[in-house]
Structure 1
Amino acid sequence: MTAMPVPHIRPATLVDEEALARLDRATWSPLHSVQPRPQPPYEPFFTERSGPDQIIVAEVAGAVVGYLRLAFATPLECNAHVRQIRGLAVADRARGAGVGRALLRAGRDEARRQGARRITLRVLGHNTPARKLYESEGYVVEGILPEEFLIEGEYVDDVFMGRSV
């Protein structure tokens, strides 16, 4: 097995819509999603509330292999210093190659560039691989909502994590 090249990290553009939508559908899992599995007709990836300006893309050899969605945590002015990761996906073929880590670091750099002081995220309690990745990048658990979601017959915690940028 050959090692995957280092991903190129860049801002998303409208041209990425279909590749991001396909990636989002391909990586759907009850390990990280509280929404049902997407079914046709599919919703667009970019919406009025979440456009390409909130997405950081990872690509290898011109193919999109991951993305991170970074947004304001809330619309409140008193909370404008906080950014929230509202999605992170990595193609199966790119897992374990540092793509998620590169996206997290790019997200932190972008949050800092935007003047943020903190960056937060939510992760399902049973998503051990993601939690380990976040912890290795300096995120700490700041709160837990026990049994917040019922996913495939199991109650799952909603874990809030954060760090300074």
Structure 2
Amino acid sequence: MSEPDTPPLAIRPARPADDAALGELDRATWSTLHAVLPRPMPPYEPFFNDAHRPDSYLVAEGGGGEGVRRIAGYIRLVPPTPLACNQHVRQIQGLAVADWARGQGAGRALLRAAGDEARRQGAARITLRVLGHNTSARRLYESEGYVVEGVLPGEFFLAGRYVDDVLMGRSLTR
């Protein structure tokens, strides 16, 4: 939990001005525990681009001391495909929490906010993919009602070993 004098986390939509801070957070939290793309190297691309727009992200802000708020994490929520027959589903395609904000509920708050936003957009289901060896993330998702709906065994080769791709989801109508 957060310290008594630390303001609670606030969730808000991302803004274009968050680009640099989100890029830094993304690079700082990169790990083969959750990333299948290679580690980003300079020169760094902008965080936002045509395929990754600010309106697809929610941001958690937390206390940075002396009343300063800073980005504690983000979650990306998008339709999984452009197909009309799939528009009742939203997919989480990225979740990161700054090291300093871990244990303060930022990941859980972002997951819940993503569910609320998906409902607001008219979605009936929400899905995600998580690497099989990321047990802490899987426990968090399960505690929020996500269930394993499929496993692609050995789908990725990361850090010298094969890793499962676990498909999880939950209903937003129950």
**What is the TM-score when the length of structure 2 is the normalising length?**
0.92
What's the counterpart of residue 116 of structure 1?
A: 123
TM alignment of 1:146-161, pairs within 5 A: 146-161=153-168
Corresponding residue for 2:19? 17
Determine which of 135, 139, 142 is the counterpart of 2:146: 139
1:123 partner SS: strand
Structure 1 counterpart SS, 2:164 = strand
| 1:60, distance to aligned residue in structure 2 (A) | 1.1
CA deviation string 1:111-130 (max 9, x = no partner): 00000000000000000000
Describe the shift of the 1:117–1:29 C-alpha distance in structure 2 as closer, same or farther (beyond 3 A). same
| Structure 2: tracts of 5 or more residues without a match | 64-68
The aligned residue for residue 44 of structure 2 is: 42
The answer on whether the counterparts of 2:21 and 2:71 sit within 8 Å (CA) in structure 1 is yes
TM-score by length of 1: 0.97
Q: Give distance in 2, aligned partners of 1:36 and 1:15.
A: 25
Aligned pairs (5 A) from 1:1-165: 3=3, 5-61=7-63, 62-165=69-172
Cα distance in 2 between the residues matched to 1:137 and 1:2: 20
Structure 1 segments (4+ residues) deviating >3 Å: none
- C-alpha deviation, 1:5, in angstroms: 3.7
CA distance in 1, matches of 2:54, 2:147: 28
Which letter maps to 2:147?
V
Structure 1, unaligned runs of 5 or more: none
Deviations 1:79-99 (A, max 9, x none): 000000000000011111100
Q: In 2, Cα distance between the equivalents of 1:124 and 1:33?
A: 8
Taking only aligned residues, the RMSD between alpha carbons, in angstroms, comes to 1.2
Amino-acid identity (%): 67
Q: Deviations over 1:42-73 (max 9, x none)?
A: 11110101101000000013200100000001
CA shift for structure 1 position 2: 6.4
